[in-house]
Amino acid sequence: MGKQYLELQLLTDDQLSAVVELDQRCLGGLWTRDGYQREIDSPNSDLIIWKRVNENENSQPILEELQLPKIALKDISISDHEVIGIGCLWAILEEAHITVLAIDPEYQGKGLGQGLLFALLVSAWKRKLERATLEVKVTNQRAINLYQKFGFKQAGRRKGYYQDTGEDALILWRGDLHRP
């Protein structure tokens, strides 16, 4: 079969089923297939995925000008899922609202969330957006640490924001997207 890699790509219609499966594993079915299709079709949304690719597969990496490398999969028996990460942002006026950031549980803790968040912020920068915002569960310390590493600061709290658990959400903001 040859070597396999993970590569950041834009979500296409071909991966919709794989993304809905990932959403189920990570987010408990936050969005439906139709919801992801609407995002693909929207000029105000960017959906970026970590996708498994074979070494001689003709792929379409994003952010080529940044020369982000493919990540070799050393243990390909971990999971055979085609898509192992998804990130989405909405461009609203001069703001990037990050609506989804999820990594397959079997791949968490390997820095893939950092790569995906970086790709979303570069995408926002390319759109000339000035700020980024997102909500995160107050108990998701791993995600909070990631966002703080990228300069996000707490700006507020939404009581009972998450319907599945009734948990509060922290509202995080990062400005100065036009600066490195």
Catalytic residue among 5, 36, 107, 147: 147
pLDDT tens string 33-82? 999 999 999 999 999 999 888 776 665 655 555 555 566 666 544 566 78
134: closest CA among 180, 166, 102? 102
Cβ 50 vs Cβ 114: under 8 Å: no
Residue ranges covered by each domain of the chain: 4-174
87: closest CA among 44, 127, 121? 121
Rounded to whole angstroms, the Cα distance separating 59 from 69 reads 13
Which homologous superfamily is 4-174 in?
Gcn5-related N-acetyltransferase (GNAT) (3.40.630.30)
The mean pLDDT of 7-14, rounded to a whole number, is: 90
pLDDT tens string 74-89? 654 456 678 999 999 9
Collect all residues with Cβ–Cβ distance below 8 Å to 163 and sequence separation of at least 6: none
Catalytic residue among 21, 95, 130, 135: 135
What are the backbone angles phi and psi of residue 48, rounded to the nearest 5°?
A: -120, 135
pTM as predicted: 0.87
